């Protein structure tokens, strides 16, 4: 079946604007994760969903970052008042029983 | 939190050569995955191997959980093997997240 999909693939925004990033997990996968990859920080965890609830939000870097998941499927990561340090590739992953599968990512550039 | 170290950080091979990539981790784990990140940034699953040995074509991996390390073997390397190889682990004490190593950048030349 289809893998994890993310949209948009690229997003360029101005400092101070809000952005929404979308993730469609593999059908039937109950767990969903957001990570980001930046030059200075490598690959780092942001948030984990099990179903529609988020038992681990420990990686969100500030209160400008939020995420939700609806219907146990699609998830949206929202970044408010974007800053230049938010520029990174945002990766989504899903899993059913341990092994995580990643989407192609959204490259966010904040000017 | 758990620390993950990968070595070597960079590796240049001639096509046809073999290589071993290493991943050391600082705590007990119940999930360990190896990924290949291709030039387009996609993370491709290579192995899900919290313990034991697995093989897939020219690639194989071994995890010795009790000694806190994993090895990825690449045999008869090809130019398409170029990219960054990541090891990622989930600590036994956490419910969710993978912690990634800093990766090994592999370049295979003709």
Chain A residues within 8 Å of chain B (Cβ atoms): 31, 33, 35, 37, 42-45, 48, 50, 55-56, 58-59, 89, 91, 93, 98-102, 104-105, 107
Coil, helix or strand at residue A111: coil
How would residue B40 be classed by pLDDT, with cut points 50, 70 and 90? confident
Query: pLDDT tens across A42-55, in order?
Result: 899 999 999 999 99
The answer on pLDDT for B1 being more than 70 is: yes
Question: Cβ separation of A44 and B100 shorter than 8 Å?
Answer: yes
Q: What is the arithmetic mean of pLDDT over A54-72? A: 95
Q: What is the arithmetic mean of pLDDT over A24-49? A: 93
What integer best gives the mean pLDDT of chain B?
A: 95
For residues A83 and A80, give the distance between their C-alpha atoms in angstroms, rounded to a whole number: 9
Query: Which domains does chain B possess?
Result: 4-109 (2.60.40.10)
| pLDDT at residue number B39 | 85
One-character DSSP codes across A21-89: EEEEPPTT--EEEEEEEETTTEEEEEEEEETTEEEE-TT--STTEEEEE-TTS-EEEEE-S--GGG-EE
Query: pLDDT tens across B20-37, in order?
Result: 999 999 999 999 999 999
User: CA B69 from chain center: how many Å?
Assistant: 10
């Amino acid at each position: 079946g289809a893998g994890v999909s993310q949209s948009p693939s690229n997003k360029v925004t101005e400092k101070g604007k809000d952005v929404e990033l979308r993730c469609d997990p593999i059908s039937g996968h109950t767990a969903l994760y957001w990570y980001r990859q930046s030059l200075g920080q490598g690959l780092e965890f942001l948030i984990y969903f099990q179903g529609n609830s988020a038992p681990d939000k420990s990686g969100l870097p500030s209160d400008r970052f939020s995420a939700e998941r609806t219907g146990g499927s699609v998830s949206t990561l929202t970044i408010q008042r974007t800053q230049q340090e938010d520029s990174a590739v945002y990766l989504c992953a899903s899993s059913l029983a341990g092994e995580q599968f990643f989407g192609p990512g959204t490259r966010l550039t904040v000017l | 939190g758990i620390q993950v170290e990968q070595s070597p950080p960079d590796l240049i091979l001639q096509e046809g050569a073999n290589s071993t990539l290493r991943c050391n981790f600082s705590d007990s784990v119940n999930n360990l995955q190896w990924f290949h990140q291709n030039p387009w940034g996609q993370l491709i699953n290579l192995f899900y191997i919290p313990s034991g040995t697995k093989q897939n074509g020219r690639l194989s991996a071994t995890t010795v959980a009790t000694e806190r390390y994993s090895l990825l073997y690449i045999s008869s390397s090809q130019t398409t093997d170029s990219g960054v190889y990541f090891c990622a682990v989930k600590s036994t004490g956490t419910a969710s997240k993978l912690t990634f190593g800093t990766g090994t950048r592999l370049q295979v030349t003709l």
